[in-house]
Chain A
Amino acid sequence: MVALTSAAGVAPAPRRHRVRVWRGLVLGIAAAYFLIPLYAGLRFSFQDDAGHWSLYALRAIPSQIGFTGAFWLSIKLAFTTLVGTLVLMVPTTIYVHLHLPRVRRLLEFVTVLPIVIPPIVLILGVLRAAPIWLKASPYLLSLMYVILTMPFVYRSLDAGISAIDLKTLVEASRSLGANGPQTLWRVILPNLRAGILSASVLTLALVLGEFTMASLDLWTTLPVWIYQFQQTDGHIATMVSMLSLIGTWVLITVMVSLDRSESRRSRRKAEVA
């Protein structure tokens, strides 16, 4: 019995060792793939033209022409896209799950299209078709970003909804006297928080880093500014891209922390009540 367990359940020592080595190697390569460019970028951004360590790039950022405008435009686009995406996708996904389950496959297919169709094709098509007043507004980009983020947002929400018994929860809520908006606000959204948060994080990360559409629509968002400014001063441009990366991480961490503390607070409130 002991021999059987040993043979079937636990790998022999040399094999275990080989597995550990392979695992370490794969993780090391993956880490290097991400960390080496980051290290190189950080090192370059903290050096001057002569190759000496320097904070001049960091100090010079706020005074660079166009930086502040590009920064705020990216932030505004990120949040309008987030609002637009959630307002469009949350009710749609819930409605399809509740009332049109057969349409789920079609919706999955439709939401995959932005991955299949290159952004350059999307933006060029839209620029030809959009009315002048819309082309003149940067928020045309938000509309495009809503489409661009759809594959990730739909999947996050779909997974979140599939994890709960939506139909029963909605029916229980309605049988207790709640109307549609009350059911959405008090029952569905709190239980979809993880899915909505994940969709939001993906949306912000994608919008803050999007270059192609903004560039072709001739709006200077932060990624476009970085690209353009690289020809003027590579150190400052690299510093901004590093800060943009760190800023996105911080934003995401703050959102996740806020969700956790909210979750803890509501539990504490329930306990007090």
Chain B
Amino acid sequence: MSQAQANGGSSGARVELRELVRVFGRTRALDGFSLDVEPGELVALLGPSGCGKTTALRALAGFELVDHGQVLVDGHDVARVSPQDRDMGMVFQSYSLFPNMSALHNVGFGLRMRGVRSTARRDKAHELLELVGLHEHAEKYPHQLSGGQQQRVALARALAIEPRVLLLDEPLSALDAKVRTGLRDQIRSLQQRLAITTVFVTHDQEEALSMADRVCVMREGRGEQTATPAELYSRPTSAFVAHFVGVSSRVPVRRDGATVGLWGQEVTVRNADLTARDVDAVLRPEDVAIVIDPAGPASVVHKSFLGAITRVTVSVESAEVRVDVRSDMARDLNHGDRVALSVVARDVLVSPRDGRVDVEED
């Protein structure tokens, strides 16, 4: 018996999205999008507004019929199966509890639709409410619950039917920061405990990186890169991903074979497949070191205190570079100070100089 089954949950299914295409008028919301999700894995779909992440989730749920492509769950194509027959639990962005039912009845609704008898239904609903820590609120109606409590009931309701796949459509976006962090941890812990395959849509990179086993960054209806959070951050395969995930700066450089010259240093290029000579180096704040040097080529423009570290923005030639400095050391840096920069990363990502990365943040 799996851990999930031991906990009364369902073991997850394998999900494969194959070359999904969905066109709305002249917009291709999904443009050949593919994704594999392993059983029990939590994959986050991350991207800017209009990148197709919600459409992909809705196609998986059955609320959007794809124009082309396959939606495989444990190898069976469910692309033409109606949502009620897909056996997937979903938590929505907006509060979706049925206002005419108590929390208990909301959680028991899916079981009722499956013909589960009243006593068993009530026991299961109580069990799920206890799982999300709302047992004492079982008789309350949605309008008597806070936003966070409503989303926890919605999660319990989605889990009550023991779905093969759990779908989360920005379930935390309507909540305030403190509640969001708590519920984020609760969702992750439940998902791991029940080992349920989960697809999670968010535009919040912190949420995606902290919760997901893997993150799929989407752009214009396609998957730009799917990787673990650590890999996505440290080894982005495109300037778009580097720009969208974490903070990065672009510095114009000239490429010479497998290296670029950066502030007098020869630095290895990570993506050797790019052939252009005039490119931009994409640098993370921790890829660069800074020292005070009255003869240095850069000057301090701005400092942002972030706790243990301070993010210093320096102007160098035509670029602005953000550098993370320990806060105790950053005290000596002032606006207008001349500084020297050096690259401490073992290699850097380069992107075409005219390859604009337009990211519209939600």
Contacts and interface: CB of A to CB of B under 8 A. Distances in A.
Interface of A: 164-165, 168-169, 171-179, 182, 186-187, 190-191, 266-267, 270-271, 273
B61 interface: yes
B138 to A, nearest CB: 9
Given A171-B83, A177-B84, A270 B98 contact: no
A172 B92 CA distance: 8
B90 interface: yes
Contacts of B113: 176-178, 182
Contact of B98 (A173, A174, A175): A173
The 7 closest A-B pairs by CB, nearest first: A176-B110, A270-B102, A177-B113, A190-B100, A172-B96, A175-B90, A174-B83
24 contacts: A164-B99, A165-B95, A165-B96, A168-B94, A168-B95, A171-B61, A171-B96, A172-B97, A172-B98, A174-B63, A175-B61, A175-B90, A175-B167, A176-B89, A176-B109, A176-B158, A177-B110, A177-B114, A178-B84, A178-B113, A270-B104, A273-B104, A273-B105, A273-B122
Interface in B101-123: 101-102, 104-105, 109-110, 113-114, 118, 122
Contact of B105 (A164, A165, A270): A270
A176 B100 contact: no
Given A171-B96, A270-B139, 20 more contacts: A165-B95, A168-B95, A171-B61, A171-B63, A172-B90, A172-B92, A172-B96, A174-B63, A175-B61, A175-B86, A175-B158, A176-B113, A176-B161, A177-B85, A178-B113, A190-B100, A270-B104, A270-B105, A270-B141, A271-B139
A177 B62 CA distance: 12
Contact of B90 (A165, A171, A178, A273): A171
| Residue picked from A164, A174, A176, A267, most chain B C-beta under 10 Å | A176
Nearest to B100: A190
Nearest to A165: B94
B22 interface: no
A200 B61 CA distance: 37
Contacts of B61: 171, 175
B100 A174 contact: no
Contacts of A190: 98, 100
Contacts of B98: 169, 172-173, 187, 190-191
B110 A168 contact: no
A178 B99 CA distance: 16
Contacts of A169: 96, 98
Given A172-B98, A190-B100, A177 B161 contact: yes
A164 B86 CA distance: 26
B157 interface: yes
Given A191-B99, A270-B139, A175 B105 contact: no
A169 B99 CA distance: 9
B88 interface: yes
Interface of B: 61-63, 82-86, 88-90, 92, 94-102, 104-105, 109-110, 113-114, 118, 122, 139, 141, 154, 157-158, 161, 167
A58 to B, nearest CB: 43
A171 B62 CA distance: 10
Contacts of B100: 187, 190-191, 266
Contacts of B63: 171, 174
Contact of A175 (B84, B102, B104): B84
| Residue picked from B102, B114, B157, most chain A C-beta under 10 Å | B102
Given A168-B94, A168-B96, A169-B96, A175 B101 contact: no
A170 B169 CA distance: 15
A168 B84 contact: no
| Residue picked from B86, B92, B114, most chain A C-beta under 10 Å | B92
Contacts of A270: 101-102, 104-105, 139, 141
Nearest to A272: B139
Nearest to A183: B84
A52 B96 CA distance: 65
A241 B73 CA distance: 67
Contacts of B99: 164, 191
A172 B97 CA distance: 8
Contacts of B122: 273
A273 B82 CA distance: 31
A271 B102 CA distance: 8
Contacts of A174: 62-63, 82-84
A182 B102 CA distance: 18
Contacts of B154: 172
A272 B82 CA distance: 34
Contacts of A168: 92, 94-96
Contacts of B157: 172, 176
A113 B109 CA distance: 41
Nearest to A177: B113
B58 to A, nearest CB: 9
A157 to B, nearest CB: 17
Contacts of A172: 90, 92, 96-98, 154, 157
Contact of B84 (A165, A179, A191, A267): A179
